């Protein structure tokens, strides 16, 4: 199987972004961008991806899909949503989500497109801004960048170490530029998610291993 064929098979098999798995239709608009940030906070604790996406769905379904609603919610209500999703570290995560929502509301007026403008196309600056959020470190910033490149194309290609590990697992090149050349730019977020899944799920890697 050629590298291009392996990439196409990987996209078909595992090419759903984690945002989509969490029920987020990602657009360059305040609500879906904030919900991606919530998902980022949830996944930054190195929990299982399905646990993080399930918790994100529960939080949004419970009415906490905007920074203002998250900030102003009763702490017990946010904690309860995480509990219904059977999320771990509920106390710490509740505080991180509400404190982070306050930061987004105050600094960027609830609109992460202002963060985008502040970063001005520089991934390092965007990483620095993201890591001002409670519970978001470099791992979390990488998660956000992998997903947001769908709607913020100036950050393409973003194929970080986790994605490169997935490439190695299925016999693809481990140079990010070579990897990026295997798919259309609009497919990079899906491709990156699929590569990450290849590191998390041996079954995915076995299905698409091109070696």
Average pLDDT over the chain reads 95
Query: Quick one: tokens of 71?
Result: 């900030």
- How far is Cα 169 from Cα 148, in angstroms, rounded to an integer? 24
The alpha-helical segments, DSSP class H, found in the chain are 3-14, 18-21, 30-43, 49-61, 67-72, 75-84, 90-107, 113-119, 123-130, 138-148, 161-169, 176-180, 188-200, 202-208
Q: In the predicted model, is pLDDT for residue 208 greater than 80?
A: no
Q: How many residues does the chain have?
A: 211
User: Residue 211: what pLDDT?
Assistant: 55
| 162 and 199 Cβ atoms separated by less than 8 Å | yes
Domain 27-136 class?
mainly alpha
pLDDT tens profile 48-105: 899 999 999 999 999 999 999 999 999 999 999 999 999 999 999 999 999 999 999 9
pTM of the model: 0.95
Nearest to 200 by CA among 51, 88, 27: 51
Rounded CA Rg of the chain: 17
C-alpha 121 chain-centroid distance = 18
- How far is Cα 2 from Cα 133, in angstroms, rounded to an integer? 41
- How far is Cα 7 from Cα 54, in angstroms, rounded to an integer? 27
Q: Predicted confidence band at 207 (pLDDT cuts at 50, 70, 90)?
A: confident
| 93 and 82 Cβ atoms separated by less than 8 Å | yes
Taking each helix axis from N to C terminus, what angle separates 75-84 and 49-61, rounded to the nearest 10 degrees? 130
Query: Quick one: tokens of 21?
Result: 């798995």
User: What's the mean pLDDT in 140-148?
Assistant: 97
User: Residue 153: what pLDDT?
Assistant: 98
- How far is Cα 123 from Cα 153, in angstroms, rounded to an integer? 11
User: Residue 202: what pLDDT?
Assistant: 78
CATH 1.10.340.30 domain position(s) in the chain: 27-136
């Amino acid at each position: 199987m050629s590298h291009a064929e392996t990439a196409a098979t990987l996209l078909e098999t595992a090419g759903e972004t984690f945002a989509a798995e969490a029920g987020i239709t990602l657009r360059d608009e305040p609500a879906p961008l904030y919900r991606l940030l919530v998902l980022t906070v949830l996944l930054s604790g190195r929990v299982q991806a399905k646990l993080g996406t399930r918790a994100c769905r529960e939080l949004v379904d419970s009415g906490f899909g905007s920074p203002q609603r998250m900030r102003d919610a009763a702490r017990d209500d946010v904690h309860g949503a995480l509990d219904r999703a059977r999320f771990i570290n509920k106390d710490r995560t509740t505080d991180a989500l509400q404190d982070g929502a306050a930061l987004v509301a105050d600094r960027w007026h609830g609109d992460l497109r202002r963060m985008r403008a502040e970063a001005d196309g520089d991934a390092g600056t965007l990483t620095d801004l993201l890591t001002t959020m409670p519970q978001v470190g470099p791992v979390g910033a990488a998660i956000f960048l992998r997903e947001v490149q769908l709607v913020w194309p100036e950050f393409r290609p973003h194929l970080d170490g986790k994605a490169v590990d997935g490439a190695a697992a299925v016999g693809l090149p481990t140079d990010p530029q070579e990897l990026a050349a295997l798919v259309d730019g609009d497919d990079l977020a899906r491709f990156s998610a699929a590569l990450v899944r290849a590191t998390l799920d041996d079954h995915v890697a076995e299905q698409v291993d091109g070696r």
